[in-house]
Structures are given as C-alpha cells and as structure tokens.
Structure 1
Amino acid sequence: MSHPKHKKIGVIGLGIIGRGVTANLRRKGFQVFVWNRTPRPVPNFVGSPAELAQLCDYIQIFVSDDEALLETVQRLSGKLAPKHIVLAHSTVAPDSMRAAADIIERGGARFVDAPFTGSKLAAQKGELVFYVAGSEAALREARPILEASGKQIIEIGAISQATAIKIATNMITAASVQALAEALALTQALGVPVEKFVEAMEANASHSATLAMKLPKITQRDFEPHFSVKHMLKDMQIANQLGLSHNLDLGVTAAARDRLLEQMQWGRGDEDYSAVAR
C-alpha cells in the first residue's frame, strides 16, 4: 500500500468545515480535488462527484444532511472500486449513515463513519476531533488524512456508532448554550453586571470549552456562524426522533430544539447557534 500522500483526495462540500479541511490537506502536501453543489472559483474544482471518484482514491464528504449524504454516495457509487475509501463526515441519523455505508460497500469500496467535533476555528487550525467507525484496515489507511485536519481521532466501534456519539455530544453542546443564554438573561434582568457573570462562570465547575468560546461572543452580540442555527436544529431534530423511536423522554433536548426553531422562524438560520441568547 502506498502512502496516502502519494494518492489524490477528493473533498465534497465546501462549507465552513470543508474549506478548512481542504486548506489543511494542501498545507500537509496532499493533492486535493473538490466538488460542491454550488460551483466555486477554487483550484481543482471538478464537474461532478463521479469525476472526483475517477480522479481520487480517498473521498471526504462534508454535506449538511441525510438527504444530501445519500444523494452524494449514490452519485459516487457507480465509479467506485476496491481502492477507494469514502469518509462520511456529515451529522445524520444513524440509519442514514448505515444506508450510505451499504451503498458504498456494494460497489466494493470501503467506508468510514467519521463525524467530528469542532467548528470554524478548529477546522482552520487543523484541530478537529474525529469520531470514527469502520474496518480496522480502512481506519488505519485513512488515519493520515484525518490527522491532516484533526488533533485527535477516537475509534468508536461499528458504523453508525460514531454518528450516535456525535448526536449525543451535540445534545450536550446545545443544552449547555441554551442554559448559558437563560442564565445570562436572568442575571441581566436582576441588574448583575455582565462582566461579573463572566468572571463567576470562568471560576465555576460547569465552565467548559464550549462556554469559554461562546460566552464572549454572546456578550459582544457577535453571532457570526461557526456552527449555524439550522445545522444545530437539524441535529436536535434527529436526537428527538431517536428518543421517540426508543421511548426516551429527552426533555432538555426538546427544549433546545424549540429555541433553535424559534431562531429559524425569525430568519436567523445562518447565524451561529448561540443566537438563542438574543
């Protein structure tokens, strides 16, 4: 097996994360070709996913939802061979990830379930954390590609289990920021200076990397998207649907979903999900 740097990598989806990953791959010496549903004036932009499969041995998919993932792998499937490894980075329902894997593997190619945590800055700095699932051989071969844009790779288990972990961790992230928004609103209503709330939170056991990143942005009313309302809402809808199908009462997740849905209805879907603090 030749080293992955000697092969070509295709990236599908040039949103916030896809652009950051592409830049990191190129900085690390990989030859990268790209495709996006909306054409972009960028280097090595090809005409279709099928053309990408003809050019590249490894394909990373950064599309936004279940429908887009399944459509993408269908478009790839006729051009794949045993040499190919397809890495799906979308946050989707576990059933959708399994269906995508089935489509890829029926064509003889290999599949890695590889959602990630980390948003815009982590992608730019090459500090994403990947949750991965797949065969031992596929994970071993794909590791240098993931390391180009990631600081940690956590092997989870069978395909769709990495996706389940991503949904679960996003539940905690969304709930944390919703709780932060409510706590900030309460302290402001009671006349407590914002800077005192920030100081108290920084010394509190409940402080986290997420709160450290979001609290300054919220106090500055800066809702530039690092992870958008519409994408977090999609993830909370998936979580709630999974809860219903397993007879679980996910009350906190449902509340976070509802607040995100309000932001969508107010036309803020493209803002950062911390806009729940508006």
Structure 2
Amino acid sequence: MYSVLFIGKGTITTSLSKSLDTKEWRVDHHTRAGKKISETNLAGYDYVVSCLPDTETAEMLWNETLVSALRNRAYKTVFIDISTLTPTTIKKINDAFHQEKLTFIEAPFTGSKTGALNGSLIYFTSSDTVPPESDTFLKSTSSKIYKFDSIGTPTQFKLLYNLWGLTSLGLLGQMSQIINGLPQADLMSEILTSNEDFWMGTIARQKLDQSLSQNYEDIHCKLKHAKKDIRYALNEFSDHKLDLSRCLLSILDEDRLQHYDDSDFTSMREFFQ
C-alpha cells in the first residue's frame, strides 16, 4: 500500500483522494485547521503532494515542508507540486529540495475535477532527480504524462495552455448570452455540441451546456483560480501582444460580480450581460 499526504484540501485533492481510495492508497490531508506541517513526520509517507492556490502560499508551505523533511530525514519521500504557479516560483522550490538531495517533481496538470476523480489527469512534468513518467503516484492518477527537459518549462506550457483555454472560454461566455436570447436556443446548442466537425466543437461540448444552464455550483475550476492563472500568464508572456486576454481579465475583475469568485469558471458568462 502506498501513502500520500496532500497539502491542501480543495476540489482537486479531494477528488484525487476518492480515486486513490479505490486503489487502496492511504491518504491524509494537511490543512490550515490541522497541525502544522512542521509537526508532521513526512518520512512516514511515500508521497507529499501539493495543489495550492497561489505562489505566496506555495512558497510558504514548501519552505515549511522542506524544514520538516530535513528534520524527519524524509529522503525516500517523493515531493510533487501539481499547482499552477510561475516558473520562477517552481524553480526556487525545486532548487531548495534538489540542494538537499530530496526528490522533487514539477507536475502541473489538466483534467480538472473529472480527471482527478477518474484517475485520468494529464500531467506536464519535469524533475532533476527521477523520471516522472515512471512515478507511481503520477501513473496512478493520470491517463498521460508528458516529460519536459527543464524545470519551469511545464509550468510555462501550463500557463500558455490555461491562457488560451480561458480566453476561449470567455468568448464562449459572451456568445452563450447571444444564443440564450435567440429563438430555438436549445436547437442551436444541440448543433454546436453534437457535431465533431465544427472547429469550436470541443469547448462547446464540454462547457456550453453548463454555461447555458448556469450550473455554476458544479465546480471544476473556481473562477478566482482562473483569474489568477490569467494574471500569471500575462506576466510570464508580457513581451507578447495579448490584448484580448487582458481585456477579458479586466472584465472578470469588475467589482459588481466578485461574488462569482468561488463559482465554477463557466460563470464568466454572467460578466457579459
């Protein structure tokens, strides 16, 4: 039996826990309400995996984790970060662990809640010490593992991936408002989501029904995390002309609709009324 300690208990780590429970893993969570990470014997786990909301939280908790790992001599434990952070932050965390001869894997993912529950996430990985594509935790929770040569590159790709996807989702939110006001909106939705030959069909099939039904409590990615990812991506790729994405972020930052921050990111449809 393998064991894992998740740092954080959100949508993804909770869903991963349910998936790993079916595979007879021992799963624990570290939360702010519980004991400090420094008081946890990390050597008692095969894996310590974090999925954290932002760079500030990640740096703080990984610093505490490193101190605890050295105190417990957790040299057989594999430390994995699956958050979407920034390349600078992930390089800093990796360097600190690598310097102490501790195993660290960078592994941002795509697949959201559904992929976590089904054990079918797609990971973008890199490590200075081990081959990520052979890692047991990653293989147990994924359908595909991509390996990049350098630490920080998977996170760069994930930021590009998210910026592209979220900007497209913003356009879907805008267009769904138009569809909703037209005659036979249900038929239009059926056409858009049932024909694989339509070039915009994939995102429509995955998100249009949820957007039109305003089912924002079925959370796959919280809107506040989506906005964070856009900010990180705009900063990372600031040398490029990204006016469309900047415009979307300015709309999503409007004060009148901040109550959607903890809703699913398809709620960005409401920002185009």
Give TM-score, length-normalised by structure 2. Answer: 0.88
Q: Count residues in correspondence.
A: 261
The answer to whether 1:149 aligns with 2:141 is yes
Q: How does 1:153-232 map to 2 (within 5 A)?
A: 153-189=145-181, 191-202=182-193, 203=195, 204-208=198-202, 210-224=203-217, 225-232=219-226
Indicate the residue corresponding to 1:105 in structure 2.
98
User: Contact 2:163–2:230 (CA<8 Å) still a contact in 1?
Assistant: yes
Any gaps of 5 or more consecutive residues in structure 2?
Answer: none
Q: Residue 3 of structure 2 corresponds to which residue in structure 1?
A: 8
Q: Which runs of 5+ in 1 are unaligned?
A: 40-46
CA distance in 1: counterparts of 2:95 and 2:256, whole angstroms: 33
Post-superposition, which runs of at least 4 consecutive aligned residues in structure 1 deviate over 6 A?
none
**How far is the alpha carbon of 1:119 from its aligned partner?**
1.4
Q: C-alpha distance in 2, partners of 1:88/1:30?
A: 19
For the 8 Å contact 1:33–1:52, the answer to whether it is kept is no
- d(CA) in 1 for partners of 2:170 and 2:156? 21
Amino acid at match of 2:248: A
Provide the rounded CA distance (Å) in 2 between the counterparts of 1:65 and 1:52. Answer: 25
1:49 aligns with 2:37: yes
Pairing partner for 1:115 from 108, 121, 125: 108
- Any conservation in 1 of the 2:173–2:269 contact (CA below 8 Å)? yes
CA contact (8 A) 2:180 2:212 kept: no
**Coordinate RMSD, CA, aligned:** 2.0
1:101-158: CA deviation from partner (whole Å, max 9, x where unpaired): 12222322011110110112221121211111113625255x2211222121111221
TM-superposed deviation, 1:263: 7.1
Give 3-state SS (helix, strand or coil) of 1:83's partner: coil
The superposition leaves residues 43-91 of structure 1 with CA deviations (integer Å, 9 ceiling, x where unpaired) of xxxx232315242132111111111111111101123243222100110
Question: Cα distance, 1:265 vs. partner?
Answer: 4.5
- Give the structure 1 partner of residue 234 of structure 2: 240
Amino acid at match of 1:201: L
Query: Do the aligned residues in 2 keep the contact of 1:17 with 1:123 (CA within 8 Å)?
Result: yes
Query: 1:32 — aligned with what?
Result: 27
